[in-house]
Amino acid sequence: MVTRNYWWPGITKEVKRYVEGCDQCQRMKNRAEMLAGKLRPNQVPERPWQHISVDFITKLPVSKGHDSILVVCDRFSKMSHFMATTEKTTVEGLARIFRDNVWKLHGLPESVILDRGRSLQQE
């Protein structure tokens, strides 16, 4: 709309930079991405190790061949297990680490919350 009445060299870049930095412009701007669905609260655990969350700490300096940490946290007691791994570990390898360090001590949880996609539910 600015170019209807004005013009100078670099007007497009300058207007784009202004709009990206303007708080009101960003609030009023139409978004091209789809709206997120309704948020659903997580289930409240009734006992330990019923619902867990899993996360990865990556990009660590290599120590004894490992550069990542797999963190499994119980949402009821907040007890956590930290297991050394690598970024190149396969899904089968992660399942083996989970089995050997968490499942053998606490059994299979009802739900797992990941930061990489949808939650997994036991059927």
Q: Classify residue 64: in a domain, yes or no.
A: yes
Residue 114's domain is classified under what CATH number? Answer: 3.30.420.10
Q: Classify residue 61: in a domain, yes or no.
A: yes
Report the number of secondary-structure helices (H) and strands (E) in the chain: 4, 5
Would you state the pLDDT for residue 122?
Answer: 38
Q: Classify residue 110: in a domain, yes or no.
A: yes
Q: If you ran DSSP here, which 8-state letter would residue 3 be given?
A: G
Judged against a pLDDT cut of 50, whether residue 117 lies above it is answered with no
Q: Classify residue 104: in a domain, yes or no.
A: yes
Mean pLDDT of the chain: 86
pLDDT tens digits along 18-50: 888 888 877 877 777 777 778 888 888 999 999
Domain that holds residue 107: 51-121
Q: If you ran DSSP here, which 8-state letter would residue 42 be given?
A: P
pLDDT tens digits along 78-91: 999 999 999 888 88
What is the number of structural domains in the chain? 1
Arithmetic mean of pLDDT, 62-68: 93
What's the pTM?
0.63
